[in-house]
């Protein structure tokens, strides 16, 4: 029997154990990136097929899942705080507690849970999510604790149930793992080596989503543009092109690309396909060639700028977003100035800024020349100040332009206005002059620019 059939058999087994209980509820706390969000959607899909219904209230839940991330240090504190908080639910109500995700691929974390939080029922890793039904079955029928983690790279499992969080935008994971071993990053150790999904399976999934009314697709991968297909659809550029041909899909994003794999054929596909959103994420990490080499990023400051300029030349309507790590080990004032220089030159519209934190097990953690915390924080503030000083100017450029807007729904703070996003991910607010549902697309003329949103009016 194939693994996916075994998994489905356990879904059925748990359903049979649960079928006479009408009110079984689950909740999921998801940490980290969009890949984890997508994993949580798959976990929800399995749980719903086992007769659990979602609640956002921990107190109401019969089963609580923590889907963890280990990219940043503060995630650990957050997780352990939360597991401590739910101890009383375990004691009073005997909820099932399951912890999975990247952090559970770290041996010391699993040991800590075993020792300090023995009431946790299930610990599962990134490669064994599909076995959660079997783990739950064992807890329900045998009252055993389950530790279900493997170190080897997991296979790709197609056909798992999924319950999506949105009715109009969907993430589709196209590849798993990473081969790059950037020296600050724990991901290759916990997510394994790169494995790409079959292109036809991906396209089939997106065609189904289009039929169900989805308008926006985000292709996901730790290193999305190193995707490898088959003889027919060979690489990321060809896959992106095929996704854009699917009727009904109007916005196509991808995250997170690596600058070294941002080849000319990918840029050509973006240039000819207006469906590809006009905000390109190009993670810089540092502007210093010396630091980039130490980070094992495989491009220089000049090569990064050349790539961004080439994208801008071939697709003049795109803007950029980026990730920057401030205070990596050995970063000098001069190195940091190089980062500010690239920020000035490229004029990123969005910057996700992070203060470097040591991740045990990585090359960066072993370095003795760590930057003192106060210097890291001062540099972070300077970068933030530079970024924010550009926001007004960048937003004002939109005034008078006509933008295609994907509607998200009525504004939370004012039910007389709708909120939507441009294809550069800018929030746009416009007056309610008709009935729209999330996922509808309209054209808006931008009339005002504010710090964190634009105002517009509908045009035909």
One of 83, 123, 178, 267 touching ligand SF4 (CB under 6 A) = 178
Among 51, 171, 180, 218, binds ligand SF4 (CB under 6 A): 180
* Pairwise CA distance, residues 254 & 256, whole Å: 6
Q: How far is the CB of 396 from ligand SF4 (least distance, A)?
A: 33
Q: Confirm or reject binding of residue 185 to ligand SF4 (CB under 6 A).
A: yes
Name which position in 42, 130, 215, 258 contacts ligand SF4 (CB under 6 A): 258
Nearer to ligand SF4 by Cβ, of 229 and 257: the residue is: 257
Instruction: Specify the residue, 255 or 340, whose C-beta has the smaller distance to ligand SF4.
Output: 255
Q: Least distance from C-beta 171 to ligand SF4, angstroms?
A: 16
- Segment contacting ligand SF4 (CB under 6 A): 180-188, 235-243, 368-376, 443-451? 180-188
* Beta carbon of residue 323, minimum distance to ligand SF4 (angstroms, whole number): 8
Residue linked to tokens 């810089």 = 284
- Is 23 or 181 the residue whose CB approaches ligand SF4 more closely? 181
Sole binder of ligand SF4 in the list 19, 107, 181, 352 (CB under 6 A): 181
Range 217-256, binding ligand SF4 (CB under 6 A)? 222-223
Nearest distance from C-beta of residue 180 to ligand SF4, angstroms:
4
Task: Indicate which single residue of 14, 96, 146, 182 sits in contact with ligand SF4 (rule: CB under 6 A).
Answer: 182
Question: Closest Cα to residue 218, out of 262, 166, 263, 268?
Answer: 166
Please state the three-class secondary structure of the chain as a single string. CCHHHHHHHHHHHHHHHHCCCCCCEEEEEECCCHHHHHHHHHHHHHHHHCCCEECCCHHHCCEEEEEECCCCCHHHHHHHHHHHHCHHHHHHHCCEEEEEEHHHHCHHHHHHHHHHCCCCCEEECCCCHHHHHHHHHHHHHHCCCEEECCCCCCCCCCCCCCCCCCCCEEEEECEECCCCCCCCCCHHHHHCCCEECCHHHHHHHHHHHHHCCCCEEEEECCCHHHCECCCCCCEHHHHHHHHHCCCCCCEEEEECCCHHHCCHHHHHHHHHCCCECCEEECCCECCCHHHHHHCCCCCCHHHHHHHHHHHHHHCCCCEEEEEEEECCCCCCHHHHHHHHHHHHHHCCCEEEEEECCCCCCCCHHHCCCCCCHHHHHHHHHHHHHHHHHHHHHHHHCCCCCEEEEEEEEECCCCCCEEEEECCCCCEEEEECCCCCCCCCEEEEEEEEECCCCEEEEEEC
The reply on whether position 122 binds ligand SF4 by CB under 6 A is no
Residue 194, CA distances (Å) to 181, 364, 366 in order: 11, 22, 25
**Rounded Cα–Cα distance for residues 260 and 299 (Å):** 6
Min CB(344)–ligand SF4 separation in Å: 24
Beta carbon nearer to ligand SF4, 100 or 177: 177
- Mark the segment that binds ligand SF4 (CB under 6 A) among 160-168, 182-190, 372-380, 412-420: 182-190
Task: Give min distance, CB of 182 to ligand SF4, in A.
Answer: 3
**Between 161 and 221, whose beta carbon lies closer to ligand SF4?**
221
- Smallest separation, CB 75 to ligand SF4 (Å): 15
Stretch near ligand SF4 under the rule CB under 6 A, chosen from 86-94, 110-118, 185-193, 309-317: 185-193
Nearer to ligand SF4, 75 or 120 (CB): 75
Region near ligand SF4 per CB under 6 A, out of 121-129, 179-187, 208-216, 227-235: 179-187
188 to 207, contacts with ligand SF4 by CB under 6 A?
188
Near ligand SF4 by CB under 6 A: residue from 187, 210, 291, 383: 187
Tokens of 370: 């760590």
Q: Say how many residues touch ligand SF4, by CB under 6 A.
A: 10
Least gap, CB of 258 to ligand SF4 (angstroms):
5
Q: Token pair of 417, please? A: 């206005």
Q: Does 154 bind ligand SF4 (CB under 6 A)?
A: no
Q: Which of residues 167 and 179 has its CB atom nearest to ligand SF4 in the complex?
A: 179
Which residues sit opposite 444 in a β-bridge?
A: 403, 458
Give the count of alpha carbons within 13 A of 35, CB side only: 24
User: Under the rule (CB under 6 A), what is the footprint of ligand SF4?
Assistant: 178, 180-182, 185, 187-188, 222-223, 258
């Amino acid at each position: 029997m194939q693994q996916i059939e075994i998994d489905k058999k356990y879904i059925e087994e748990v359903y049979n154990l649960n079928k006479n209980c009408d009110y079984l509820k689950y909740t999921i706390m998801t940490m980290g990136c969009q890949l984890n969000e997508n994993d949580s959607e798959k976990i929800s899909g399995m749980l719903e097929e086992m007769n659990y219904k979602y609640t956002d209230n921990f107190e109401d839940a019969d089963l609580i899942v923590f889907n963890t991330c280990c990219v940043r240090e503060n995630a650990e504190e957050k997780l352990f705080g939360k597991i401590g908080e739910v101890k009383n639910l375990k004691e009073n109500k005997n909820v099932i507690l399951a912890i999975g995700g990247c952090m559970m691929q770290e041996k010391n974390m699993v040991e800590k849970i075993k020792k300090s939080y023995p009431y946790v029922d299930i610990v599962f890793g990134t490669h064994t999510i599909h076995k959660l039904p079997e783990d739950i079955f064992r807890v329900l029928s045998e009252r055993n604790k389950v530790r279900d983690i493997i170190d080897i790279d997991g296979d790709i499992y197609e056909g798992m149930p999924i319950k999506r969080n949105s009715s109009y935008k969907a993430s589709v994971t196209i590849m798993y793992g990473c081969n790059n071993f950037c020296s600050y990053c724990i991901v290759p150790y916990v997510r394994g080596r790169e494995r790409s999904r079959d292109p036809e399976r991906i396209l089939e999934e997106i065609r189904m989503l289009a039929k169900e009314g989805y308008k926006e697709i985000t292709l996901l991968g730790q290193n999305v543009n190193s995707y490898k297909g088959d003889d027919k659809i060979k690489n990321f550029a060809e896959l992106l092109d095929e996704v854009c041909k699917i009727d009904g899909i109007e916005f196509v994003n991808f995250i997170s690309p690596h600058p070294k794999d941002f080849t000319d054929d990918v840029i050509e596909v973006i240039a000819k396909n207006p469906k590809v959103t006009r905000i390109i994420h190009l993670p810089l990490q540092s502007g210093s060639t010396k630091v980039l080499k130490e980070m094992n990023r495989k491009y220089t400051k000049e090569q990064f700028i050349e790539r961004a300029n080439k994208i801008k030349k071939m697709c003049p309507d795109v803007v950029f977003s980026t990730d920057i790590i401030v205070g990596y080990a050995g970063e000098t004032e001069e190195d940091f100035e190089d980062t500010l220089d690239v920020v000035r030159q490229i004029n990123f519209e969005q910057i996700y800024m992070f203060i470097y934190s040591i991740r045990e097990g990585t090359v960066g953690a072993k370095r003795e020349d760590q930057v003192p915390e106060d210097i890291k924080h001062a540099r972070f503030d300077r970068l933030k100040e530079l970024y924010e000083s550009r926001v007004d100017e960048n937003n004002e450029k939109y005034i008078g332009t006509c933008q295609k807007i994907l509607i998200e729904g009525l504004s939370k703070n004012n039910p007389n206005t709708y909120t939507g996003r441009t294809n550069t991910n800018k929030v746009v607010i416009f007056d309610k002059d008709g009935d729209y549902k999330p996922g509808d697309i309209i054209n808006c003329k931008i009339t005002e620019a504010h710090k964190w949103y634009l105002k517009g009016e509908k045009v035909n």
